[in-house]
């Protein structure tokens, strides 16, 4: 047989199997759902009284019911995925990470959505703001709305070092800053500290400076400063 | 340094097939993220419209504040500025990591680990250098440990063993670990613990939990055969819960930090290789700076700043990365205690997330800053090969934990009659504590209000002794608080 024919046959077979499985599932659901006619669906707990430790329905759209333990595991898994995404950020792949994180807002678990908000806050990328602002409308819980709005405001804030001029960003100290002509140095602080340390018997007073430490600067005359 | 001991310990571990990383494929890694908002003064002005206009003598009538954020990226810049003379030294993907982290109050250490000796500058001296020797206890992850750390349970005592079953009390050592800059992109890993100070408030003489509260449930897992064949145990405790405690976290990259202050006994300038640890340019004592050097005494000595009558003086414009701040708040650590390597672990380990809601104050880029926000400690189970433990080992052929910075240690000075000389040791070694508290390996200084806590002894009676003959408290830990920092800049006994 030609490859195309084989592929088409396989697809048809899988479709048939899927259809059969779906029909079987519906039949089973009707068979086991004695109260379904009343609009109520039996929980796993009621169907299996030997397993009393059944938690509330995992708030998913499928209506699936899981144990508290499984629910915790699912939440932890989701949060772990969010943290993984966040940790992958390197500045170049942020768009992909933002998209992936936004998708997590659809999770029905509040804890997961809270983790998403935290992740965005820590990712601190202003490119996410438009999408986040749209997401505010989708959230139902007022506390979550406030948390997301707070996160957006935080991302909008300027960074504490945003105003640092470029020449100071890679060298420390760079310095050639200008001192005003009216600067007055406090003579109290012009004493020779080493002498004082020796007077106190401090053991480091006589030590050589550490290798990585610049030698003490000689006391210069008051700086001939220019205007600002 | 006791590398011999370390090697010996490794050899013994290998021979015995226990502990260390021999069996552990995964370990937890704790990433620290800061999301702080800083309110700061942006203008003091004589003009209603122009910022920072006029002179001080004209009397400013107009004051304005502004807001900015502070993240872990900033803190990494602050560290790079001092440690490498370059705020941009680390790559943008560098992170802060709390390695070998333990955040639960139920984490306990053995007296053996508590008795680790602090290092001195060189043989024959008594000057501490801020680190301690590992003495073989080089991994404190619970899952690897069967001799240095353990899960503790409330024992009805604050400071002593339970008189009947001998168990140690809880809540005296958390949080635990060492803080690193992990820059995988650059292949650089720096232990930066000494930039931080952490202290936990202990709740007076509590016979329950001492420093924390917890909503937790433990259960015995009987029949488990965990650990390697030689050392497996048949019953262990697992569980889950939420611990909370009051934590203070400080950061300081100025010379006020005793670990960065050349004249301090804990100065680490020689320990960190190429680092030039100082707040900006090195200012020797009160030596006068040149016009191109850092401002003398700034953030250290009030009014050592040269006076400039112009409000917009540009003084300090060259120190945008100078930072000192303290955060206070409740740390809430939500955890599970379980195996992270299945049956290969000797013990289960705490893994969880610490959410630290804070407010605080600081001095960042010469601005007074009032801080609010959160600091998150996110623990994840990862391949050990990706963590500081292995990365540092690969890069340096040595375990980083040969040297820990015991920033939570409480040192006291003793006197040896036989040699007629002073020496340093921790208050625990000295016998002031009956169980390990504020030991040489501690990340966190635990503050209490008990007469036996030497931190509260009177320091006014001169070198060597405090009130009641208690040793003079050195305590470089927890520097913004009651721990005494022997900063000579503040010494009022200086001769005129």
Q: Which two tokens stand for residue A66?
A: 């899981």
For residues A71 and A115, state if they share a domain.
Answer: yes
**pLDDT of res. B482:** 36
- Cβ of A93 under 8 Å from any chain B Cβ? no
Determine, yes or no, domain membership for B379: yes
Give the residue from A36, A66, A96 where a domain finishes.
A66
In this complex, the residue of B73, B309, B318 whose CB is nearest that of residue A177 is: B318
For residues A48 and A125, state if they share a domain.
Answer: no
8 A C-beta contact, residue A118 and residue A104: no
What pLDDT, in 10s, does the model give residues B88-100? 889 988 999 999 8
For residues A96 and A48, state if they share a domain.
Answer: no
**Interchain contact, B88 vs A186, CB within 8 Å:** no
Dihedral of the alpha carbons of B54, A223, A184, B490, in degrees to the nearest 10: 120
Domain count, chain A: 2
Q: Which two tokens stand for residue B71?
A: 């993240």
Q: In the Cβ-directed half-sphere of B81, how many Cα atoms lie within 13 Å?
A: 29
Res B393 pLDDT > 70: yes
For residues A71 and A177, state if they share a domain.
Answer: yes
Rounded to a whole number of angstroms, the distance from the CA of A128 to the nearest CA of chain B is 17
**pLDDT of res. B331:** 97
8 A C-beta contact, residue B332 and residue B355: yes
**Interchain contact, B306 vs A186, CB within 8 Å:** yes
- Cβ of A193 under 8 Å from any chain B Cβ? yes
Average pLDDT, chain B: 75
The better pLDDT of the pair B155, A40 is held by B155
Q: In the Cβ-directed half-sphere of B194, how many Cα atoms lie within 13 Å?
A: 31
Q: Mean pLDDT over residues B253-277, rounded? A: 61
- Cβ of A216 under 8 Å from any chain B Cβ? yes
**pLDDT of res. A119:** 93
**pLDDT of res. A13:** 56
Give the residue from A25, A41, A66 where a domain finishes.
A66
| Cα–Cα dist A4/A9, whole Å | 9
| Cα–Cα dist A135/A123, whole Å | 17
Q: What is the mean pLDDT of each run of 10 residues along chain A (228 residues)?
A: 52 54 43 36 39 44 69 90 87 91 94 94 93 94 96 95 80 42 42 37 40 35 35
For B214, the enclosing helix (H) or strand (E) is strand B212-226
Q: In B431-454, which positions are buried (b, 16+ CB within 10 angstroms) versus exposed (e)? A: ebbbbbbbbbbbbbbbbbeeeebb
Q: Which of A161-170, B208-217, B263-272 is the least confident region? A: B263-272
For residues A103 and A52, state if they share a domain.
Answer: no
Determine, yes or no, domain membership for A17: yes
Categorize the per-residue pLDDT at B364 as very low, low, confident or very high, splitting at 50, 70 and 90: confident
**Interchain contact, B285 vs A168, CB within 8 Å:** no
Categorize the per-residue pLDDT at B483 as very low, low, confident or very high, splitting at 50, 70 and 90: very low
> By percentage, how much of chain B surpasses pLDDT 70?
64
Determine, yes or no, domain membership for B270: yes
Q: What domain range includes position B7? A: 3-211+249-329+358-413+425-456+476-490
Determine, yes or no, domain membership for B463: no
Res B185 pLDDT > 60: yes
Res B299 pLDDT > 80: no
In this complex, the residue of A89, A175, A211 whose CB is nearest that of residue B318 is: A175
Residue of A nearest to B92 (CA): A90
Q: Mean pLDDT over residues B339-345, rounded? A: 81
Question: Can you list the alpha helix ranges (DSSP code H) found in B276-430?
Answer: 388-396, 427-430
For residues A32 and A118, state if they share a domain.
Answer: no
Neighbouring-strand partners of residue B35 = B71, B374
Determine, yes or no, domain membership for B337: no
**pLDDT of res. B427:** 79
Domain count, chain B: 1
The better pLDDT of the pair B71, B226 is held by B71
| Cα–Cα dist B347/B147, whole Å | 11
Q: In the Cβ-directed half-sphere of B85, how many Cα atoms lie within 13 Å?
A: 14
Determine, yes or no, domain membership for A203: no
CB atoms within 10 A of CB A194: 18
- pTM exceeding the 0.80 threshold for the entire prediction: no
For residues A49 and A88, state if they share a domain.
Answer: no
User: In Å, how far are A100, A102, A127, A135, B148 from A96, measured between CA atoms?
Assistant: 6, 10, 11, 17, 44
**pLDDT of res. B233:** 58
For B200, the enclosing helix (H) or strand (E) is strand B196-201
**Interchain contact, B306 vs A183, CB within 8 Å:** yes
User: In Å, how far are A178, A212, B293 from A217, measured between CA atoms?
Assistant: 18, 14, 9
For residues A32 and A87, state if they share a domain.
Answer: no
Determine, yes or no, domain membership for B344: no
Residue B398: which residues within 8 A CB-CB, separation 6 or more?
B3, B392
Determine, yes or no, domain membership for B101: yes
Cis preceding-peptide flag for A173 (omega within 30 of 0):
yes
Predicted ipTM of the assembly: 0.77
Res B207 pLDDT > 90: no
Determine, yes or no, domain membership for A19: yes
**Interchain contact, B68 vs A186, CB within 8 Å:** no
For residues A148 and A52, state if they share a domain.
Answer: no
| Cα–Cα dist B176/B441, whole Å | 9
Highest mean pLDDT (candidates B3-17, B64-78, B155-169, B402-416): B64-78
For residues A53 and A83, state if they share a domain.
Answer: no
In this complex, the residue of A83, A186, A212 whose CB is nearest that of residue B269 is: A212
> By percentage, how much of chain B surpasses pLDDT 90?
33
The better pLDDT of the pair A90, B104 is held by B104
Using alpha carbons only, give the angle B322, B323, B329 rounded to the nearest 5 degrees: 175
B73, B272, B288, B309: best mutation site toward chain A, by most A Cβ within 10 Å?
B288
- With beta carbons under 8 A apart, name residues in chain A contacting B278: 213
Determine, yes or no, domain membership for B34: yes
- CB neighbour class for B197 (10 Å; exposed up to 12, middle 13-18, buried from 19): buried
For residues A57 and A137, state if they share a domain.
Answer: no
B92, B285, B368, B381: best mutation site toward chain A, by most A Cβ within 10 Å?
B285
**pLDDT of res. B33:** 96
For residues A58 and A77, state if they share a domain.
Answer: no
**Interchain contact, B303 vs A204, CB within 8 Å:** no
- With beta carbons under 8 A apart, name residues in chain B contacting A202: 263, 488
Q: In the Cβ-directed half-sphere of B298, how many Cα atoms lie within 13 Å?
A: 31
Ramachandran sector of residue B455 (left: φ over 0; alpha: ψ -120 to 50; beta: rest): alpha
Q: Whats the size of chain A, residue-wise? A: 228
Determine, yes or no, domain membership for B461: no
What percent of chain B is helix, strand and coil (3-state, nearest 5)? 15, 35, 50
Q: What domain range includes position A9? A: 3-66
**pLDDT of res. A167:** 74
**Interchain contact, A204 vs B494, CB within 8 Å:** no
**Interchain contact, B35 vs A121, CB within 8 Å:** yes
Task: Give the pairing type, strands B62-71 and B26-45.
Answer: antiparallel
- Cβ of A182 under 8 Å from any chain B Cβ? yes
Res B386 pLDDT > 70: yes
**Interchain contact, B284 vs A204, CB within 8 Å:** no
What pLDDT, in 10s, does the model give residues A87-127? 888 778 899 999 999 999 999 999 999 999 999 999 999 99
């Amino acid at each position: 047989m030609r490859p195309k024919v084989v592929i088409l046959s396989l697809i048809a077979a899988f479709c048939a199997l899927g259809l059969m499985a779906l029909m079987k599932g519906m039949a089973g659901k009707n068979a086991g759902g004695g109260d379904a006619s009343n609009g109520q669906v039996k929980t796993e707990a009621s169907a299996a009284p030997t397993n009393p430790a059944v938690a509330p329905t995992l708030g998913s759209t499928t209506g699936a019911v899981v144990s508290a333990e499984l629910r915790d595991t699912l939440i932890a898994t989701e949060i772990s995925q969010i943290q993984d995404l966040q940790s992958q950020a390197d500045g170049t792949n942020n768009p992909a990470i933002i998209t992936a994180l936004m998708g997590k807002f659809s999770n029905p678990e509040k804890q997961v959505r809270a983790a998403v908000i935290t992740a965005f806050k820590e990712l601190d990328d202003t490119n996410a703001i438009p999408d986040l602002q749209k997401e505010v409308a989708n959230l139902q819980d007022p506390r979550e709305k406030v948390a997301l709005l707070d996160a957006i405001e935080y991302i909008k804030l300027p960074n504490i070092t945003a105003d640092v001029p470029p020449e100071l960003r890679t060298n420390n100290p760079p310095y050639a800053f200008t001192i005003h002509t009216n600067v007055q140095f406090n003579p109290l602080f012009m004493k020779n500290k080493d002498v004082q340390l020796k007077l106190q018997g401090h053991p480091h007073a006589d030590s050589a400076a550490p290798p990585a430490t610049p030698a003490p600067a000689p006391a210069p005359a008051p700086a001939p400063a220019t205007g600002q | 340094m006791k590398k011999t001991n370390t090697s010996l310990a490794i050899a013994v571990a290998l021979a015995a097939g226990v502990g260390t990383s021999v069996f552990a494929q995964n370990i937890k890694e704790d990433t620290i993220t800061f999301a702080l908002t800083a309110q700061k003064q942006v203008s003091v002005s004589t003009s209603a419209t122009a910022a920072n206009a006029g002179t001080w003598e004209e009397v400013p009538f107009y004051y304005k504040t502004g807001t900015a954020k502070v993240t872990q990226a900033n803190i990494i810049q602050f560290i790079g500025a001092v440690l490498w003379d370059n705020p941009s030294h680390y790559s943008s993907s560098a992170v802060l990591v709390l390695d070998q982290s333990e955040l639960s109050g139920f984490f306990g250490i053995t007296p053996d680990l508590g008795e680790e000796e602090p290092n001195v500058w060189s043989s024959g001296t008594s000057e501490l250098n801020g680190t301690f020797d590992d003495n073989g206890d080089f991994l404190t992850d619970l899952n690897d440990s069967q001799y240095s750390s353990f899960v503790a349970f409330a024992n009805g005592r604050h400071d002593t063993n339970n008189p009947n079953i001998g168990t140690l009390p809880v809540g005296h050592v958390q949080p635990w670990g060492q803080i690193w800059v992990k820059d995988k992109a650059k292949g650089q890993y720096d232990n930066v613990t000494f930039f931080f100070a952490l202290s936990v408030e202990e709740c007076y003489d509590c016979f329950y939990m001492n420093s924390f509260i917890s909503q937790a449930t433990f259960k015995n897992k009987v029949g488990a055969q965990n650990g390697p064949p030689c050392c497996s145990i048949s019953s262990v405790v697992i569980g889950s819960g939420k611990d909370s405690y009051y934590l203070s976290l400080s950061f300081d990259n100025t010379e006020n930090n005793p670990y960065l202050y050349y004249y301090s006994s804990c100065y680490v300038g020689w320990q960190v290789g190429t680092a030039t640890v100082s707040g900006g340019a090195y200012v020797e004592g009160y030596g006068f700076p040149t016009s191109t050097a850092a401002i003398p005494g700034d953030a250290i000595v009030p009014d050592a700043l040269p006076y400039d009558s112009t409000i917009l003086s540009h003084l300090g414009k060259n120190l945008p990365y100078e930072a000192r701040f303290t955060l206070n708040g409740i740390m809430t650590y939500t955890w599970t205690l379980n195996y992270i390597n299945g049956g290969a672990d000797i013990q289960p380990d705490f893994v969880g997330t610490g959410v630290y809601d804070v407010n605080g104050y600081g001095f960042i880029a010469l601005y007074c800053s009032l801080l609010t926000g959160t600091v998150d400690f996110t623990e994840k189970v990862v391949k050990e090969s990706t963590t500081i433990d292995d990365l540092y080992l690969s890069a340096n052929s040595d375990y980083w934990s040969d040297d820990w910075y015991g920033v939570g240690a409480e040192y006291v000075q003793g006197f040896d009659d036989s040699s007629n000389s002073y020496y340093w040791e921790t208050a625990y070694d000295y016998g002031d504590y009956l169980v390990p508290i504020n030991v040489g390996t501690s990340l966190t200084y635990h503050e209490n209000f008990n007469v036996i806590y030497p931190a509260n002894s009177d320091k006014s009676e001169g070198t060597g002794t405090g009130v009641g003959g208690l040793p003079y408290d050195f305590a470089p830990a927890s520097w913004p608080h009651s721990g005494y920092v022997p900063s000579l800049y503040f010494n009022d006994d200086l001769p005129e």
